[in-house]
Amino acid sequence: MRFRAFTAAACIFVAASLVHAATDQLPARLFKSTADHGKFTALQQDFKSGPEVTKACLSCHTEASRQIHTTQHWKWEYRNPATGQLLGKKHLINNFCTSASSNMGGCASCHIGYGWKDDSFDFASEENVDCLVCHDTTGKYRKPGGFAGNVVTKDTEYPPGSGKIIRGIDLKQIAQRVGSSRRANCGACHFSGGGGDGVKHGDLDSSLEAPGKVLDVHMDTKGNNFTCTTCHKTEGHQVPGSRYAPTAMENGDQPMRGKAGKANPTTCRSCHTATPHKKTAKLNDHTDKIACQTCHIPSFARGGVPTKLSWDWSTAGKRGPDGKPLVVRNDDGYDVYMGIKGDFVWGENVKPEYVWFNGTVTYTLLGDKIEKSAEPVQINKFEGSASDGKSMIWPVKIFRGKQAYDPVNKTLVVTHLAGNDDSAYWTNLNWEKAVATGMKSVNAPFSGKVDFISTESTWPITHMVAPKERALDCVECHSSAGRLEKVSGIYIPGRSRDHASWLDGAGWTIAALALLGVVLHGLGRVIAFFRNK
């Protein structure tokens, strides 16, 4: 009996080993998908352009393009119901490159479509939708600037006559290996907002492609390994979460993911509830006024990639000894001055600034009248206060700039920076020509005169969530000159702005009198004891 049992066990072990060895030989992607796109007939061809790939994709994914057409990713336009403002590339102006509207030849490389170079772009075309930008898994997909969001499939000299070659990519190979979106897919655009890696947001850069736990406890590749869509949980290509109208506060306990009701999946409470602190319940007293990010993101740009903190266009124009626009780099190789753009300030491990925020963002739009003053113009103002019942204290990055301004029309202006026709403007540092071309592209008036004006733009800090062991200690806020020193409308014990010398004096006086009373009482008891004895 023992021999039979041993033999049976041995047979089972050998069979299991053979099955395990056989499955080890299978491509890993077969375990992650029900389809091998490399076997699809529609993808067994050489593609000469992006739209040809999309046409092949639509032969199976018949509704995908029409779903994309309804998204902000496609329209680059949004009507804010709270403010009534129409926000989009034709309306918004920023203090980075001023506007995408006059620079679509370059900016459209981050659009999920092909061929958007001017107003002639066909937004109704299903084949203009770019499927690969979100679903490439090879890491080889590229949409270089200057090609209006189109891909380059054969080696191309660009700019013409420069001797610089952009290598073509093999769309057939890429199309046959599509899969679910990864951090790198989203990051291809969102990490590079503002003109380069980490420039704009501060909490989004290439260090998040494969972060460790200290950088982001959710995206930690050896831990939770969240992708962007884990939180920005997508249905029908609709991606929740918007910088135009973010959710600043949720009242009470919101329904958890997967439970009854419809939770906003991008908020902390959709997973952690309104009482996330189980061992230190006192911390839950803070969750009605302080956003989770305030304590759990102690600093941003801490993955080794710096972020821009300011950009001064007014200093542009300096030339080097060779007569070309001057370029100055810091010890890490980052531009701190460019003759064609002005001065920059970079920062790493930056402490956020803090503001009351209720989810409403009001923008300064192209054409809005602006009086020049000592106060910076708010490119996008985060609304909120301690008393409105809708606001929480949020961590933000405030980007400070000095940008072109029309002193006659009293408006911010659009500058033309990217395209095949811009080299003469910047080689000669011709501001008026660059602004005139930019304003013409958006059909807006321009007086021909250029001045400069100080501006600020605000960006919420919501990524790079640190492990709980690295969250802020109480003393970071409850101290003199603490992190929340500039936040008004709230009393914070220990904060210097809540310090009243007369109250402290009264308190110390009372304490001293109480101590004196105890001493006298004790002395009296001692004297009485000895007298009685």
Place of tokens 């499939």: 153
Q: Across residues 249-275, what is the average pLDDT? A: 73
pTM of the prediction? 0.86
> Does residue 329 form part of some domain?
yes
Quote the mean pLDDT of the chain. Answer: 89
Q: Across residues 354-368, what is the average pLDDT? A: 96
Q: In angstroms, what CA-CA distances link 258 with 233, 263, 270, 272, 295? A: 12, 9, 10, 13, 27
pLDDT at 263: 65
Max mean pLDDT range (11-15, 18-22, 496-500)? 496-500
Whether the CA torsion 308, 313, 315, 320 is positive or negative: it is positive
**Whether the bond into 306 is cis, omega within 30 of 0:** no
Q: In this structure, what DSSP letter does residue 167 have?
A: P
pLDDT band at 205 (very low <50, low <70, confident <90, very high): very high
pLDDT band at 178 (very low <50, low <70, confident <90, very high): very high
Residues 429 and 509 placed together within one structural domain of the fold: no
* Farthest CA pair distance, the chain: 113
Residues 433 and 480 placed together within one structural domain of the fold: yes
Cα 257 to Cα 241: distance, rounded to the nearest angstrom: 15
**In which domain, by residue range, is 519 found?**
500-532
pLDDT band at 389 (very low <50, low <70, confident <90, very high): very high
What is the residue-wise DSSP string for 365-410? Answer: BTT------SSPEEEEEE---TTSSS-EEEEEEEEEEEEEEETTTT
Cα 151 to Cα 110: distance, rounded to the nearest angstrom: 12
Residues 386 and 519 placed together within one structural domain of the fold: no
Residues 357 and 413 placed together within one structural domain of the fold: yes
Element (H, E) at 241: none
pLDDT band at 14 (very low <50, low <70, confident <90, very high): very low
pLDDT at 382: 96
Count of the separate structural domains present in the chain: 3
Q: In angstroms, what CA-CA distances link 65 with 58, 73, 134, 362, 446? A: 8, 12, 13, 31, 38
Residues 511 and 393 placed together within one structural domain of the fold: no
pLDDT band at 245 (very low <50, low <70, confident <90, very high): confident
> Does residue 151 form part of some domain?
no
Q: Across residues 506-530, what is the average pLDDT? A: 88
Indicate if the pLDDT at residue 22 is higher than 60.
Answer: no
pLDDT at 258: 54
